[in-house]
Structure 1
Amino acid sequence: MKALNLSTLLPSPQALTVATLPSPTPSSTQYLISIRASACNFFDLLQIRGKYQHQPTLPWVAGSEFSGVVLSCPPGGKYPVGSRVFGASQGAFATRVCADEAALRPVPDGWGFKDAAGLFVTAPTSYAALVTRAQVRAGEWVLVHAGAGGVGLAAIQIAKALGARVVASASTVEKRDVCTRFGADATVDYSDDGWVKVVMAITGGKGVDVVYDPVGLVEKSLSACNWNARVLVVGFAGGKIENMRTNRVLLKNVSIVGIHWGMYAKKEPETVQTTWDGIFKLVKEGKFKGTVFDGEPFKGLKEVGRALEWLEGRKTWGKVVVEIDDEDVGGEKARL
């Protein structure tokens, strides 16, 4: 197979090179997948630099999220050979990968591999945050920070499907337009110091009922909260972990709520299935669509470094996905 194999940590994604390796051998409980598209994430950048909390032992193949076709399945497996699946497993910047059944889901009817490749991380994170943790209700105002990001666009769609009204924040006109295209009722520029006043005006002076924050804007967002608001701590893409004054939490009766989707499989596995059931229901009803960035094509494993560089430089929106091309796999795509 072809893969982006690391024998040493790298300072830049552009240092990634395509290597030819033996095809991986699945264990007795694993699937072997022919990858058709691989999604790029910020944690991929951290991992190739040795700065992520989960670091494989060198050498290893980079990447995690993918979509593709099942080449082999374990006895009694849910997905027979030829099934179209998406999921996550270490080594997704390659033409083949091994994965456990729990890390796979079927590609939704009518979806292509490209959109499906960007679904496994973002959609359940946002669904569990808004439905399970914040329990968003129809008619509420939801503020989605970094609304044009992968989890942000997922959150906008899910909040709208729940009957909420959405204010999305983003730093450029183009990204705010993307938020509107995916259903946001209003947008604000969170790089503008006056964004809180704008949110208060949009909500008629009451403030928002739910804040979805993958950036690290909790403290300032408290000034834009309504009574009994819930603030979701989703991540720290801004690079800063906040220390906040808690008097505003008390005065507005605000709940600060964490969401760590990756731990649900270990701590609360029953919620994983109900979350995916909810997502697939929205997809079937036409209320959730793919969020893949379409402003620049990234085709072939040789393009992964450039795609990651665009992601790091914040030149993109939504999910950045690289399509595996014929040069990578020879005639395998045509045979399956």
Structure 2
Amino acid sequence: MQAWRVHENGEPSKVMRLEETERPVPGAGQVLLAVRAANVNFPDALLCRGQYQVRPPLPFTPGVEICGETEDGRRVIANPALPHGGFAEYAVADAAALLPAPEALDDAEAAALHIGYQTGWFGLHRRARLEAGETLLVHAAAGGVGSAAVQLGKAAGATVIGVVGGPAKAAVARELGCDVVVDRHAEDVVAAVKEATGGRGADVVYDPVGGEAYTQSAKTVAFEGRIVVVGFAGGTVPAPALNHALVKNYSILGLHWGLYNTKNPQLVRHCHEQLTALAARGAVKPLVSERVPLGGAADAVQRVADGVTTGRVSVLPARGEGAAV
């Protein structure tokens, strides 16, 4: 089979190599999956760089989110078990963690209704307890993680403010349903958010960026607001001023979605049921901005790492969707 493999750490475009290799052999409790679609996530770039919290042995195949097909013909979504990731014709995954792919979505969309949407659901509902009528501020609102949070916020009845970088991403954020869009390249984010909220600020801030975005979050969060820290795609891990949180009376909430897979996997399944229902009625639909062949995976991961994509970029094996194991 064909698979992208990383033999040394570095930038994805330099260290990912497309190779002919044997199909992976499932271990105890694992299953072999024919990859129907593998979506690119920022952690794939971190894996290539050796900067992710999980460091698989070299060589490994990145690709942490797929829609695949089991030997008995079931269409499922999964997080492949590294080192046998999803940027390949076949991957392996833990059998107990497989989730049924929603019928309302195609392969690329189904794969995208996993990490980003699970993170959004847990962040907004489990951690921040977002309520209808509240104001939600989403950083990187046109990206894979941010676009999911925008749709989930709208589905929950919130007013959504999306922060983006550039007019093209602003257009995407509007199409996603943002009530207010702030272009950080052309506007003062803090002033724009204060104006949009009548000076009150946002009840919930969803921040997958860190760095300067977090500084803006602390300045725009409302009284009794909640900042959900999802990641640091901007490359800088902020050091929050806890005296500021005390004086302004807001909460800083961390979210590591992957922990729920080990700490409370039943919640992950419950979340998937909620997301599947939302997709069935059209309340959410993952934004898949590009579908590229397997040969384009390294370039796709690099572009996601560079922050120049919108929504999700999906990698499709050369044999196309629907191939069986």
Provide the TM-score with structure 2 as the length reference: 0.92
- Report the 3-state secondary structure (helix = DSSP H, G, I; strand = E; otherwise coil) of the residue aligned with 2:93: strand
Structure with higher Rg: it is 1
Question: Could you say which residue in structure 2 is the equivalent of 1:262?
Answer: 258
Aligned to 1:76: none
| Residues 156, 166 of structure 1: 8 Å contact kept | yes
Relative distance call for 1:102 and 1:178 in structure 2 (3 A) is farther
One-letter amino acid matched to 1:82: G
Corresponding residue number in structure 1 for 2:312:
319
Asked if the contact 2:69/2:324 (under 8 Å) is kept, the reply is no
| Cα shift at 1:335 | 6.4
Specify whether residues 304 and 115 from structure 1 end up closer, same or farther in structure 2 by C-alpha distance, changes over 3 A only.
same
The residue that corresponds to 1:199 in the other structure is 193
Partners in 1 of 2:323 and 2:240 — Cα distance? 55
TM-score when normalising by structure 1: 0.89
Contact 2:136 2:160 in 1 (8 A): yes
Q: Deviations over 1:151-197 (max 9, x none)?
A: 11110111111110000000111111111111110111234562111
The answer to whether the aligner puts 1:23 opposite 2:14 as a matched pair is no
CA-to-partner distance for each residue in 1:206-240, whole Å, 9 max, x for gaps? 21111011111233222212211111111111111
Q: Do the aligned partners of 1:17 and 1:302 also contact (CA within 8 Å) in 2?
A: no
The Cα of 1:263 is off from its aligned counterpart by 0.6
Whether 2:151 is the aligned partner of 1:154: answer no
What do residues 247-294 of structure 1 show as CA deviations (whole Å, max 9, x unaligned)?
Answer: 432233211111110111222333222222221121122111022113
Call closer, same or farther: CA 1:262–1:182 in 2, change over 3 Å: same
- Percent identity of the aligned residues? 37
Deviations 1:24-43 (A, max 9, x none): 22234222111121111222
Please tell me whether the aligned partners of residues 136 and 161 of structure 2 are also in contact (alpha carbons under 8 angstroms).
yes
- 2:170 aligned partner: 176
Contact persistence 1:14–1:309 (CA under 8 A):
no
Asked if 1 retains the 8 angstrom alpha-carbon contact of 2:113 and 2:275, the reply is no
2:65 counterpart residue number? 65
Hey, what's the Cα distance between the residues in 2 that align with 1:188 and 1:5?
Answer: 39
CA gap of 1:212–1:85, structure 2 versus 1, over 3 A, is same
How many Å separate the matches in 1 of 2:7 and 2:241? 45
Equivalent position to 2:302, from 309, 316, 334: 309
Secondary structure of 2:203's counterpart equals strand
Please give the alpha-carbon distance, in whole angstroms, between the structure 2 residues aligned to 1:222 and 1:277.
Answer: 33
* Equivalent pair of 1:170/1:187 in contact (CA under 8 Å): yes
Q: Which amino acid aligns with 1:277?
A: E
Distance 1:164 1:316 in 2: 26
- Give the whole-Å Cα distance in 1 for the aligned partners of 2:165 and 2:204: 20
Partner of 1:9: 9
The residue type equivalent to 1:130 in the other structure is L
Change in 2 beyond 3 A, CA 1:305/1:102: same
Alpha-carbon distance in structure 2 between the residues aligned to 1:293 and 1:102: 30
Matched, 1:278 2:274: yes
Aligned residues: 320
Aligned counterparts, 1:112-127, within 5 A: 112-127=106-121
Q: 1:140 aligns with which of 126, 134, 137?
A: 134
Q: What's the C-alpha RMSD, in Å, of the aligned pairs?
A: 2.0
Q: Structure 1: state its 5+ residue gaps.
A: 72-80
SS at match of 2:66: strand
CA displacement at 1:15 relative to structure 2: 4.3
- Distance in 1 of aligned mates of 2:53 and 2:231: 14
2-side partners of 1:199 and 1:174: how far apart? 20
Distance, in Å, in 2 between the alignment partners of 1:312 and 1:52 is: 13
The alpha carbon displacement at 1:12 in A equals: 4.1
Aligned pair in 2 of structure 1 residues 334, 244: CA closer, same or farther (>3 Å)? closer
Q: 1:83 matched to which residue of 2?
A: 74
CA contact (8 A) 2:137 2:202 kept: yes
CA distance in 1, matches of 2:6, 2:136: 41
* Secondary structure at 1:60 match in 2: coil
Gap change, CA 1:251 and 1:84, over 3 Å in 2: same
